[in-house]
Amino acid sequence: MKKLWGGRFEGESQKWIDEFGASIEVDQVLAEEDIIGSLAHVKMLAKTSIILQEEADEIIRGLEILLVKAQKKELVFSIANEDIHLNIETLLHKEIGLVAGKLHTARSRNDQVATDMHLYLKRQVGEISGSLMDLEKVILLKAEKHVETIIPGYTHLQHAQPISFAHHLLAYYNMFKRDLERYQDSLKRIDCSPLGAAALAGTTFPIDRLDTAEQLGFSSVYSNSMDAVSDRDFILEFLSNSSILMVHLSRFCEEIILWTSHEYQFVSLTDAFSTGSSIMPQKKNPDMAELIRGKTGRVYGNLFSLLTVMKSLPLAYNKDLQEDKEGMFDTVKTVKDCLNVFAGMLDDMIVHEEKMSEATTKDFSNATELADYLASRGIPFREAHEIVGKLVLKCLKNGNYLQDISLADFQEAAPIIQEDVYSLLESRVAVERRNSLGGTGFVQIRTELEKAKKECQLN
Ligand code: ARG
């Protein structure tokens, strides 16, 4: 079959080589962006008198027919036409005849494909940002219900100090807030038009790049044509931002998985977000959380794959760049799915407040309270630490806890200790009193919650 670029070729193309070189199976996702980009280009070609208005009108008519078909997923593509750009041009030719050949004046597939991807990613980052905001709201509404729910705070996965469950949830809110900021910041670079860079060096035609950029809704244009066609930083940045987002989802999932286990029993997931076992009738597994944790791997993989493709690429366009799409599409789908499933799962998650707070009553997570008690009464903190350490050791030997120690025994260890120590050893009091800026104290959390709700337009 004759190629659109086939003039200087004599040999027949071979199907298996065509198949290897083709990207249509992957890049057909960009059909609408490709047509929209072409519409802007052809309108500009007429405005600048590079082609006649009648010619442009005919091309526009054809492209609009194709756009409707693309929206209905009715376009039929062929591997022989290699990629989305040549497929659309071929279809346009079938629709309107020879005049279709004028569309590619002052343009190359190199600036065309880059334009398509900028358009695509701009829309997708907008949609992902929307899902992130929905998730933030779910977290805040949950946190609001659990300001006074006490849960062990862990370091090294060992009970450290009691905290408010809302504080734990708000930690994730802050991570997702940063994720959203990163995506929004990346828009500055995504929202930039490469169209008009042509193959790599610009063009001799009097094109108007600012016009096409404006038509396509881009707020800036690449200022160097070589950079415009070979830059994939904006995709790397998207993949990197998405990887960091997946870190957060995966950490949260890991915690939920732990919390649903028999050992914790802090939360339950609803049936909709769980699955059973084909052999063990009692099982209810947190599969969705595990799957999100697992899918983090492919998102990291997509980042590493493109970083590796880009490494050592000489300027400007190289066919290697065709490998930039699959991972980007996969990441878009994965991130969207994970965000939506996770938000639903969290929204439905049942919190067992009793179990959470119970876990802070028979432990030593109030040891810092006792050390602070001594330190605030003049004993140097290091000394206080040593005294409490010894008391913990004694309790471990006796099989009891700090709050079970008699006042006489306390005073033997440190005469300064009075009856008032007991109330401070209660986990709820310990949480409430940690009122330093950004701490887990209820006043701090309520302030943070109010701030966050404003950020999310929740009040
Ligand atoms: N399918 C190609 C890609 O995705 C389009 C650009 C092709 N350009 C070229 N000079 N072969 O990168």
Query: Per residue in 47-96, pLDDT tens?
Result: 999 999 999 999 999 999 999 999 999 999 999 999 999 999 999 999 99
Catalytic residue among 219, 220, 261, 277: 277
- Cβ of 83 closer than 6 Å to ligand 1, yes or no, is yes
- Predicted local distance difference test score (pLDDT) of residue 93: 98
State the average pLDDT over residues 306-335.
Answer: 98
Q: What percent of the chain has pLDDT over 70?
A: 100
Look up residue 448 and give its two tokens: 């943070």
Closest Cα partner for 306 from 230, 247, 236?
236
**Which mutation among 38, 322, 323 tests ligand 1's pocket best, with the greatest number of atoms within 8 A of CB?**
322
Q: What is the ipTM of this complex?
A: 0.97
User: What total of structural domains would you count in the chain?
Assistant: 3
Annotation says 305 is catalytic:
no
Closest ligand 1 atom to residue 83 Cα is 1
Residue 244, CA atoms < 13 Å, CB-side half-sphere: 15
Residues 41 and 115 in one domain: no
Query: Per residue in 413-438, pLDDT tens?
Result: 999 999 999 999 999 999 999 999 99
- Cβ of 322 closer than 6 Å to ligand 1, yes or no, is yes
Q: Domain containing 265: what range?
A: 111-358
Residues 237 and 306 in one domain: yes
Residues 409 and 335 in one domain: no
Query: Per residue in 243-274, pLDDT tens?
Result: 999 999 999 999 999 999 999 999 999 999 99
State the average pLDDT over residues 351-377.
Answer: 97
Residues 98 and 116 in one domain: no
Residues 300 and 340 in one domain: yes
Q: Is residue 409 part of a domain?
A: yes
Closest Cα partner for 84 from 3, 26, 15?
26
Helices then strands (H, E): number in the chain? 19, 6
Q: Is residue 32 part of a domain?
A: yes
Beta strands in 133-272 (DSSP E): 150-155, 158-164, 192-193, 220-221, 267-268
Alpha-carbon distance of 152 to 366, in angstroms, equals 10
Q: How far is the CA of 325 from the centre of ligand 1 (A)?
A: 11
List of long-range contacts for 395-402, beta carbons under 8 Å, 24+ apart: 395/364, 401/362, 401/363, 401/364, 402/364, 402/366, 402/367, 402/370
The shares of helix, strand and coil residues in the chain, as percent rounded to the nearest 5, are 65, 5, 30
Nearest CA to ligand 1 atom 3: 322
Structure confidence at residue 8 as a pLDDT band (50, 70, 90): confident
- Cβ of 112 closer than 6 Å to ligand 1, yes or no, is no
Look up residue 233 and give its two tokens: 């930083």
- Cβ of 23 closer than 6 Å to ligand 1, yes or no, is yes
Residues 73 and 117 in one domain: no
- pTM of the predicted protein model: 0.96
Give the CATH number, domain containing residue 379: 1.10.40.30
Residues 255 and 292 in one domain: yes
Look up residue 152 and give its two tokens: 């062990």
Residue 216, CA atoms < 13 Å, CB-side half-sphere: 39
Give the CATH number, domain containing residue 21: 1.10.275.10
- Predicted local distance difference test score (pLDDT) of residue 344: 98
Annotation says 167 is catalytic:
no
pLDDT of 1 higher than 80: no
Give the CATH number, domain containing residue 295: 1.20.200.10
